[in-house]
């Protein structure tokens, strides 16, 4: 497991080989296969031991809380180890439902926490009563991941833009906004 993480860091998901993990763990390949049927499952589980969710108290101030939420999405999906690994795993996850499940579990706590922030705001009237929180989160994550995949701009302004979208229902403005803020 630790070995998996090491290899993953050194070589990425593509460079990770069952053979390599086994060797670096001082273990027979057989043993690895015994416990994890696929590379995806192995990595999924390894990541799950590695990443842990640090819950954050909501401040109650909508803009602050949303901004933080967006920030964490960007971090998680842009330069984190997870983000580097996820796209390489895309295919395997699509063909290995159990691994997908495992990976999705990793997002669970953060997602729940984020939803609770949103619905707290709904509760006090800052956001519409029939808000589709899940979609909001997907919009944020999706936008960030998409830009990351395509190698497009992911500068700091995108955080403001997405925050404004949620807090003010405001469509993103062209980003020479730092001078107007």
Residues engaged in binding DNA (CB under 7 A): 17-20, 26-31, 33-35, 38-39
CA distance 22 to 30: 9
**Coil, strand or helix at 143:** helix
CB atoms within 10 A of CB 3: 17
Residues 116-133: b if buried by 16+ CB within 10 A, e if exposed: ebbeebeeeebbeeeeeb
Judged by CB under 8 A, does residue 174 bind a copy of itself?
yes
* Shortest distance, position 70 Cβ to a copy of itself, whole Å: 13
Structural contact between residues 111 and 137, judged by C-beta atoms closer than 8 angstroms: yes
* Residues near a copy of itself (CB under 8 A), total: 41
Which of 162, 122, 164, 169 is closest to 145 using CA atoms? Answer: 162
Judged by CB under 8 A, does residue 146 bind a copy of itself?
yes
Complex with a copy of itself: residue 42 or 127, whichever CB lies closer: 127
CA distance 33 to 16: 14
Phi, psi of 53 (to 5 degrees): -90, 125
Residue 23, judged by CB atoms within 10 A of its CB (0-12, 13-18, 19+), counts as: middle
Complex with a copy of itself: residue 79 or 170, whichever CB lies closer: 170
Judged by CB under 8 A, does residue 130 bind a copy of itself?
yes
Sole binder of a copy of itself in the list 138, 155, 156, 178 (CB under 8 A): 138
Complex with a copy of itself: residue 114 or 161, whichever CB lies closer: 161
For residues 13-42, which are near a copy of itself according to CB under 8 A? 13-14
For residues 88-127, which are near a copy of itself according to CB under 8 A? 88, 90-91, 93-94, 100, 104, 127
Q: Give the residue carrying structure tokens 């707290």.
A: 120
Q: Which residues bind a copy of itself (CB under 8 A)?
A: 13-14, 87-88, 90-91, 93-94, 100, 104, 127-128, 130-132, 135-136, 138-139, 141-147, 149-152, 158, 161, 165-166, 169-175
């Amino acid at each position: 497991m630790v070995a998996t993480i090491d290899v993953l860091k050194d070589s990425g998901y593509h460079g990770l080989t069952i053979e390599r993990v086994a060797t670096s763990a001082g273990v027979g390949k057989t043993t690895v296969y015994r416990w994890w049927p696929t590379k995806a499952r192995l990595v999924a589980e390894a990541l799950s031991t590695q990443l842990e969710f640090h819950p954050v108290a909501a401040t109650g101030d909508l803009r602050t809380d949303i901004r933080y939420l967006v920030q964490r999405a960007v971090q998680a999906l842009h330069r984190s180890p997870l983000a580097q690994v996820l796209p390489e795993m895309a295919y395997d996850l699509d063909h290995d439902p159990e691994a997908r499940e495992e990976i999705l579990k990793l997002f669970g706590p953060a997602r729940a926490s984020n939803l609770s922030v949103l619905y707290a705001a709904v509760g006090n009237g800052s956001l519409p009563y029939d808000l589709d929180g899940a979609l909001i989160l997907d919009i944020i994550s999706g936008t960030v991941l998409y830009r990351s995949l395509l190698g497009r701009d992911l500068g700091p302004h995108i955080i403001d833009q997405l925050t404004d979208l949620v807090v003010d229902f405001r469509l993103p403005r062209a980003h020479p906004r730092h001078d107007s803020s």
